Amino acid sequence: MALYVDGREAPLVSHLEGAFTSAERKRGLLGRASMPPDLAIVIAPCNAIHTFRMQFAIDVIFATRDGRVIKVRRNIGPGRVSGALGAFATIELAAGALEGTDVTPGRVLRIRQRT
């Protein structure tokens, strides 16, 4: 599965991991030394994250249940907290993954098979 911005042919990231159980959501990216640029982790339900005990920065998208982006945070370093009221899912990406993209509040994200 890949993550697409609605109306775009190329995926935003070509590999997705899900964190849907309580244990998976708690673990998130903890214990990893880095994150590949073509990977995103979808954490749901989740409207806030922290980067305590992380070793690297991340980009984060907060989205509603239907995929509408409500907040974007770039380059969140270790030891930070971020959230968005109304978010159903949090999507964590490698720092810099959103640079040069049109992922902004109001855009819609879709998960689908890679083409």
What ranges do the domains of the chain cover? 2-112
Query: Residue 59: which region, alpha, beta or left (left: phi > 0; alpha: psi -120 to 50)?
Result: beta
Residue pLDDT tens, the chain, 115 long: 999 999 899 999 999 999 998 888 877 777 778 899 999 999 999 999 999 989 999 999 999 999 999 999 999 999 999 999 999 999 999 999 999 999 999 999 999 987 6
The pTM of this model reads 0.93
Bridge partners of residue 108, in order along the sequence: 68
Peptide bond preceding 45 in cis form (omega within 30 of 0): yes
Collapsing DSSP to helix, strand or coil, 10 comes out as: coil
Q: Which CATH architecture has domain 2-112?
A: Sandwich (2.60)
Residues ≥6 apart with Cβ < 8 Å to 86: 47, 64, 70
